[in-house]
């Protein structure tokens, strides 16, 4: 991870990226073109109705302003270089880059999250026929609101009960699996974490 996660200094100085100013102008052009399309539809409606000449004139003025903006943005985009040096972007926008140690730490966190999710999938897989349903269940558990309370040196984490029978059994087994895992020193004031499912109301 260390050798792959960090780039050489020389490589980093020469590293090119797509020009973010071009992306910003492209997004703005999309919005302007959407506005132009809506105004053109309104203008057609106003021109069909004989009693809305003033309204049609106002729409035309607004439409011509949008067209000028579109032409200006296209002209500005064409003058920009397609790619720029990442180093120039960092210096120009005052971006704070992660130090090597911090970057490595976040890579480690990301990999641990992936491994943990795979482990949870393996635990609850027998309760579902479709792997998509397994992943959906795990994501819902990871995103759900839990109730946490402190009892002595133990932190209790309570999941809300599941609506489906499969989900209920899978969550029970998942809590058993988590509770059997070896305890580790978190450097906090409590020593253990216990997981359980709350009662249905």
Domain edges within the chain: 7-92, 101-197
pLDDT band at 35 (very low <50, low <70, confident <90, very high): very high
- Can you give the pLDDT at residue 86? 74
pLDDT at 176 over 90: yes
CA angle 161, 163, 166 (to 5 degrees): 95
> pLDDT digit string (tens) for 126-171?
988 888 899 889 988 888 888 988 888 888 999 999 888 889 999 9
Token look-up 């990301």 returns: 110
Q: How confident is the model at residue 96 (pLDDT cuts 50, 70, 90)?
A: low
For residue 108, the tally of other CB atoms under 10 A from its CB is 12
Calpha distance 32→26 (Å, rounded): 10
Look at residue 2 in the predicted model and tell me its pLDDT. Answer: 39
pTM of the full structure:
0.46
Q: Of 119, 157, 121, give the one whose Cα is nearest residue 138.
A: 121
């Amino acid at each position: 991870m260390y050798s792959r996660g960090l780039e050489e200094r020389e490589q980093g100085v020469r590293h090119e990226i797509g020009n973010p100013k071009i992306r910003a102008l492209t997004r703005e052009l999309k919005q302007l073109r959407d506005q132009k399309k809506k105004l053109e539809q309104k203008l057609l409606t106003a021109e069909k109705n004989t009693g809305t000449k003033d309204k049609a004139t106002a729409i035309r003025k607004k439409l011509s302003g949008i067209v000028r903006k579109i032409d200006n943005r296209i002209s500005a985009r064409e003058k920009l270089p397609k790619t720029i040096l990442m180093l120039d972007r960092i210096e120009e926008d005052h971006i704070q880059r992660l130090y090597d140690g911090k970057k490595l730490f976040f890579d480690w966190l990301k990999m641990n999250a992936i491994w943990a999710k795979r482990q949870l999938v393996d635990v609850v897989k027998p309760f579902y026929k479709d792997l998509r349903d397994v992943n959906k269940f795990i994501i819902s558990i990871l995103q759900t609101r839990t109730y946490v309370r402190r009892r002595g040196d133990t932190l209790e984490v309570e999941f809300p009960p599941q609506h489906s029978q499969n989900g209920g059994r899978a969550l029970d087994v998942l809590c058993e699996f988590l509770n059997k895992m070896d305890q580790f020193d978190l450097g906090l004031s409590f020593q253990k974490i216990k997981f359980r499912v709350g009662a249905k109301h």
